[in-house]
Structure 1
Amino acid sequence: MHIHINPNKMKTTTFSRFFAILPLILFVMLHQANGQNLHNSSNAVSIENESNTTTGWTGTAIFTSDTQNPYDGLYSIRGVTSLSNGREIRYTFPAVIGETYNISIWARRGDYSLQPAFANWTGFAGFATRLINSAIWTEYTFTLVATSATPIIRVYTSPSSGLIQGSTIFIDRVSIFAASDTEAPSAPGNLTASDTTATSVFLSWNASTDNNGVTAYDIYSNNSLLATLPSTSTTFLVSNLIPATSYDFFIRARDGAGNTSNQSNTVLITTLADATPPSVPENLIATEITQTSLTLSWDASTDNIGVSSYEVFVDSVSAGIVNSPALSIALSGLTPGT
């Protein structure tokens, strides 16, 4: 009996035995826009004038400027529930009663956290509590009407009805804009794609302009939103694409009032074919051998894209497909004494 194993590459064609969808990893180079952001204190979560401080923020929680994985720039604010019932940080800004405001705060949970939330905001109509659910940076947006000239934004590091010492959250990139701005940014110009490989492409474009400043770009591929990026990036690298696959890209700009530009021109690309085979599986061994069955195991192959599956052959006849990352198969129905 002769046994060998062929590793299969991760590809997506009508002839392959599998489908693989890889995440897009975006690397962004940024610089910041000037706009009439009412979060105008110079501190770690400021868009226009970031600094290594917490100026403008107050509260009972322990809160500091932090360099651990900020969303944008060099710093974020880290808030921790203290032993003395401190679980809140807050920010107040001057508002016009009856005016609508668009508020954006990026936030994530710390390694240890319990039910952190945006809660108990005062001086607004229509506010509802929003839990901070993810350890990944997430944008939380609020469109609210001011009922006070000094409304208060509150972030709770643990439940407002309880005290969980050490519960931690991070916030970054805070913006507060009056919604009376109805002028949309200009469309991003001259979007181009270059340096296309089997798994990546480099995009660049001309920056948009806006009366109050561009605050974000929405990046689309094949008509689906890939990411919302801080302003004003003019390049980014999309990697981990699928070889020999067509993609289209376009971009829209947004301002702090939520106005969205027309889309940029669309660029079409096809990633190059992947011509590199996986390495040969090594150390194939047979165990648990009986008259009619056995178990095979082997070491993993490597590949520039990734191994999706292994095809097992017995006497040059396919005996089955093993999906990665599994590295063994049980064979039965064998002929005794063979």
Structure 2
Amino acid sequence: MSRSGGRRAIALAGALTLAAAGTAVAAPVAATAAAAVTATCTKTSDWGTGFEGKCTITNGTDTALSGWRLEFDLPSGTSIGSTWDAAKSVSGGHYTFTDAGWNATVDPGGTASFGFTGTGSGWISGCTINGGACDGSGQPGGDTQAPSAPSNLRATGKTSTSVTLAWNAATDNVGVTAYDVYRGDTKADTVTGTTATVSGLSPSTSYTFTVRARDAAGNTSPASNAVSVTTDASGGDDPGTSGGKVIGYFAQWGVYQRGYHVKNIDTSGSAAKLTHINYAFGNVQNGQCTVGDSYADYDRYYSAAESVDGEADSWDAGALRGSFNQLRKLKKKYPHLKVLWSFGGWTWSSGFGQAAANPAAFADSCYKLVEDPRWADVFDGIDIDWEYPNACGQTCDTSGPDAFRNLMAALRQRFGSDNLVTAAITADASSGGKIDAADYAGAAQYVDWFLPMTYDFFGAWDAAGPTAPHSPLTSYAGIPREGFNSDAAIQKLKSKGVPASKLLLGIGFYGRGWTGVTQSAPGGSATGPAPGTYEQGIEDYKVLKNSCPATGTVGGTAYAHCGNQWWSYDTPATIGGKMTYAKNQGLAGSFFWELSGDTSNGELITAIRNGLG
């Protein structure tokens, strides 16, 4: 989420679409046959050593297509990495792509597409769609065998407005591509894994669910066993209420220079407005979760005056102290609060590559640390902040596009359904950018929610400017980079199949600024980062609201020009607008980095809570 002192630039996406951008190189399978399902693949960009491609499936029949499976081979030295809008599997040089669930149904005459990036100079051969040649010859491929029924359908969690389900996988002679979840006779969701959360339900209401499996040829299994679930009664303290999550990061290093402690969450009035706290950060070393700062975490002595409950820490051997003990006391005072231990962050993400090489071992180490008997009652789950899978942050990761999904799958399996598993993820929605680099849609089935870091899009790491708001909600005329705004990230994630109900909107409780600026409006030149209390170019909202008050808004957020400095940050008013957006998009709520940037009476968190209702 952040290094000590603040966030950093989202590194520029790789220059993959350069001279050859826009070049279309047709696959040798582009002929169309009447009354058949066909597929055409093209290179949309080609720079010699790599390419970006797109495949389009066309339903030329008079019957709706209920799932698709496209396969082809690549020559030695050519491979496909990042894939979007489809699930990918690889065996040697043979690639198989199946629908992402949300794009499984293709109406007569309709199309579905997916994209990918690759390395090497070769191209595809032996293309088939649903078992028949991609040019329509030899259709339909002859698969008429339906999958077996999913078994052991069960409810693994519920709130007043949602039910989480799990089931045992079905089998098929070719392969299951998706599962359709039914609420009564109504299809409520389509997923590729064996879990689903059905949202938008009414409190204190009984619902009956079944699941059916589908294969690429559209064959549908019998229904699973039925399970009936009654949702919880509604209540303002239900942290799982759809659209009402307010999640704040607590930075462990805040107990030093900043003098911000767990007690401040209480005295500011923030604890009553929060649903979850993410404690940042644990480290990732040697393929394992490790303690980040033992002194701040569980050893610092808190006097009675510093403590949440007015009682001093014990010096007895084995007694828990530090922020962990204060969080325990805070949860006792506010029973609705949930706390997750977050691992990684900007500085400590370099260890995820080794962790991804053995996800099960990593997950086991994390579970044993989070569930350590000394503080097991403090934490309700784990949050992963990998900056960034298969892309560059402070260091560059080359684990591959499937690594993040595999890591989250292992964590879910180890932590089970009784613990929360979440992840802070990139918000880089540029073409070929960080969202495209990893399988976030595939990982979504294993997480309770994602926290897209919709801030730090722009900042004084570009010392000369142009000035631009670090957390624009929407694009605007003159924005320096396509795809660098919150709405673009949310829409791209949704288009890939991540449910809106598993996404939160990120807010920064700080500003980013330049100095040497003469132009008030965005887009001006600068000479470098503005001075900050802890780090150049960054400052807390509680300081900026007085030192450099907002003078305008752009892209749904505020900016300020004072003297020769130019800052951008969110105010209670712009947060109100962002919360309206979050509700209109059906998001799970909002989260923010981080608690110490707010005023002593919690102006910004109050705006989030009031905005979400």
TM-score, reference length from structure 2? 0.22
Structure with more of its chain in strand, by fraction: 1
Give the TM-score taking structure 1 as reference length. Answer: 0.36
Please identify which structure carries the higher helix content: 2
Structure with the greater alpha carbon radius of gyration: 1
